Structure 1
């Protein structure tokens, strides 16, 4: 068992991540999709509509290798699940779930990242959970990096798809409104934006496995159905990204990824005031294909953001991103103002169980920047450690007071100015700061 100080150092150690995307992968995924379609037909199951034309990502865009720290991956995962509402706790502490993987990964600058001894042991008992959650962290970290390179003068925001879609559609039988009856959805949206201009949205489906390359082929084939469930604009013109992270028990991990192009995904509508409250819409489910032979086609299952919804959906994405950030900082009242009833407003306003809540009452300074947020104290290898998640104080005050427009203008202006340090000497622990102003840090508590 490593001593706690070594664990903290390992979390800040950059390591190479193998990224696999080529024509052979695209072909193997197409074969896996055809095999699954055949099995579904034999079992008389409904036909799945899949994203056509999944292609490899050019090496010049993604590169064969990417360097990440385990702490950055956990930060990406923690930010992604702040609004997940998956645990038994009803408070704002969902994101602390990322900390259970603080000893799961190992590597250094001269090697590829892989599962550590503890990560392998955990995989024996919680394969699906660990691979899926770590796969989310790697996928979102790489998707953000990829889109930032392709759109260098824009900002990339990651938004949980279920939370965003619930503002307009009834996703399950518990939601009010016309039921979609369709269980396939992307896990996230990446919104690429700049103030005062149309933004572009990319559905993202991400999975993970401990089984091997063939399992990734099957997962990417499944992911093609998830991203196809949302159309923004014209039929089959919405670009998307799919990921499957392979975490073998012997050898380095690999992220397998493909994309689909298209001219759609643009939310080009008259600008709305993002500071105004957001209300639920009741959008009838279904995606409208183009008419054939002058006859309107029957709608396909899914969720269609048509042109009259562009401004509203842009508003939804901005508010959902703001809610995720204030939840990451542990502020209940600031989060509630950005969610609609169907998005789970009550979940963040009602009484919480003991040990499942978080409170925005902590303050720390990293690399000359003041952050406010919430903290969590627990034991790591018998030593007490403190984790802190928060937001740069000046940015948090904008969100706390409902100034989404000002917040977005400032993070856009500061997107390339944030400190790149991964270890704060005075704090004495790993620190990850993201361009949205969020921070995740951990340190050993001294007596």
Structure 2
């Protein structure tokens, strides 16, 4: 077996990932937060407002492990990066950034996922990026399972919180009215949804570290301030998840996670035209503040920094979340023009329009048959240990057709029903390499390409 074949084989193997969530963890994080507050007080710095009530996630939701393949993790991360506008790439090219971790993860004799030799030997600046991005991938994998178990029978979508918030609040630039009030925000918003029912929004904060467990406690204490910055409805009634992924944990990767109680339900009447995601989204200019305590008697109302979605804006926010999720799917397929249709100006519509730097653009011009189902998307060819490999990312043809016609609500009904991927999940794999399918209808697959000589003829490798 060649080195490339071994790498691809490893990407398709399922490994366990450790999950830690308990009252003891919550107590350790509370101590870390108290220590940080004391240090801030001594230094004359302002203490952050932290999410109260953080506790261990019920064992029936979190479990002690999750099982997934490295390729499934990279698919999750790639979807998360599709509209993040971070990194050196522009627009659509960013989701390919997950591929740099093709050789970073492996499983050992204990069957637990861990960093490989290559994954543990990056330069210092790269270690920071690695913990940041892999921390997001592992956090999303764990958080999505928790939310599915918290809300049985619901589909779960993850959207970049910054992109969602940009549609309603000015976060950067000279027009920011309270710069200190927009600095903290979650990394993602998880939407638990079922057609015809109110969506539930769960903010998620993701951290990652190469250091020991004590540092993860500090990260969770800091993450609680980010989680506290976002609320649906009255203050402190929105559930939240905070995570810290210990990449060099004892026995392999460890995801530490805590949860705050709440629902975060967007109570919108079924069929409310103001919530219809098929209709274009208007851009708002909301003030970044959270009502902590209403006025009472002689006491004035108490406000703090952050983002609060009040009942009058529930329908608008629901449309915002759904259309931003659709933009992410469109970007993942390489369709920049389609992604731009679902974004507002502040959300980065221009990143998906017009000129793109050479080498960073993606075009939705590929199709693939995976497990008997047809997918539309884009592809990327690069060399892995000297062998040319092809990566395809796309969506089930029927679901992509819904988004291309602007029928987001129909896409949601079809995706929730699960019929688009039913055949692919049962069929035998003939792709020739690792495949990952997600409930949103997206697919990511990789395989080695035949070697070709200078004449273009296929040649054998020894």
TM-score by length of 2: 0.92
Cross-structure match for 2:457: none
Q: Residues of 2 paired with 1:277 and 1:137: CA distance? A: 30
Cross-structure match for 1:282: 285
- Is contact 2:370–2:424 with CA below 8 Å preserved after alignment? no
Cross-structure match for 1:269: 268
Deviates more, 1:45-54 or 1:199-208: 45-54
Cross-structure match for 1:39: 39
- CA deviation after TM superposition for structure 1 residue 45, in Å: 1.8
Query: 5 Å matches for 1:92-107?
Result: 92-107=92-107
- Is contact 1:160–1:187 with CA below 8 Å preserved after alignment? yes
- Is contact 1:423–1:430 with CA below 8 Å preserved after alignment? no
TM-score by length of 1: 0.95
Query: 5 Å matches for 1:299-378?
Result: 299-378=303-382
Query: 5 Å matches for 1:37-436?
Result: 37-107=37-107, 110-122=110-122, 126-173=126-173, 176=175, 178-181=177-180, 182-248=182-248, 251-262=251-262, 264-270=263-269, 271=272, 272-291=275-294, 293-294=296-297, 295-414=299-418, 418=422, 425-436=429-440
Deviates more, 1:415-424 or 1:205-214: 415-424
- CA deviation after TM superposition for structure 1 residue 166, in Å: 0.4
Q: Residues of 1 paired with 2:144 and 2:123: CA distance? A: 27
- CA shift in 2, pair 1:420/1:250, >3 Å: farther
- CA deviation after TM superposition for structure 1 residue 352, in Å: 0.4
- CA deviation after TM superposition for structure 1 residue 426, in Å: 2.3
Cross-structure match for 1:441: 445
SS at match of 2:444: strand
SS at match of 1:157: strand
- Is contact 2:89–2:360 with CA below 8 Å preserved after alignment? yes
Q: Residues of 2 paired with 1:232 and 1:321: CA distance? A: 18
- CA deviation after TM superposition for structure 1 residue 366, in Å: 0.9
- CA deviation after TM superposition for structure 1 residue 250, in Å: 7.0
- Provide Cα deviations, 1:324-350, integer angstroms capped at 9, x if missing partner: 000000001111110001111111112
SS at match of 2:400: helix
SS at match of 2:303: coil
Deviates more, 1:58-67 or 1:178-187: 178-187
Q: Residues of 2 paired with 1:21 and 1:43: CA distance? A: 32
Deviates more, 1:157-166 or 1:99-108: 99-108
SS at match of 1:118: coil
Q: Residues of 1 paired with 2:423 and 2:125: CA distance? A: 38
Q: Residues of 1 paired with 2:22 and 2:283: CA distance? A: 41
- CA deviation after TM superposition for structure 1 residue 180, in Å: 4.7
Cross-structure match for 1:12: 12
Q: Residues of 2 paired with 1:95 and 1:69: CA distance? A: 18
Q: Residues of 2 paired with 1:422 and 1:14: CA distance? A: 18
Q: Residues of 2 paired with 1:92 and 1:408: CA distance? A: 23
- CA deviation after TM superposition for structure 1 residue 18, in Å: 0.7
Largest Rg, 1 or 2: 2
SS at match of 1:117: coil
Q: Residues of 1 paired with 2:237 and 2:109: CA distance? A: 39
SS at match of 1:300: strand
- Is contact 1:115–1:252 with CA below 8 Å preserved after alignment? yes
Deviates more, 1:148-157 or 1:128-137: 148-157
Aligned residues: 445
- Is contact 1:123–1:130 with CA below 8 Å preserved after alignment? no
- Is contact 1:219–1:244 with CA below 8 Å preserved after alignment? yes
Cross-structure match for 2:456: none
- CA deviation after TM superposition for structure 1 residue 237, in Å: 1.0
Q: Residues of 2 paired with 1:123 and 1:151: CA distance? A: 41
- Is contact 1:209–1:216 with CA below 8 Å preserved after alignment? yes
SS at match of 1:288: strand
Gaps of 5+ in 1: none
- CA deviation after TM superposition for structure 1 residue 89, in Å: 2.9
- Is contact 2:382–2:389 with CA below 8 Å preserved after alignment? yes
- Is contact 2:295–2:302 with CA below 8 Å preserved after alignment? no
Q: Residues of 1 paired with 2:388 and 2:328: CA distance? A: 27
Deviates more, 1:62-71 or 1:105-114: 105-114
Deviates more, 1:415-424 or 1:185-194: 415-424
- CA shift in 2, pair 1:218/1:135, >3 Å: same
Q: Residues of 2 paired with 1:288 and 1:218: CA distance? A: 27
Gaps of 5+ in 2: 452-462
- CA deviation after TM superposition for structure 1 residue 425, in Å: 4.0
- CA shift in 2, pair 1:308/1:125, >3 Å: closer
- Provide Cα deviations, 1:147-172, integer angstroms capped at 9, x if missing partner: 11222211111010000000000112
- Provide Cα deviations, 1:299-324, integer angstroms capped at 9, x if missing partner: 10101101111000000000000000
SS at match of 2:354: coil
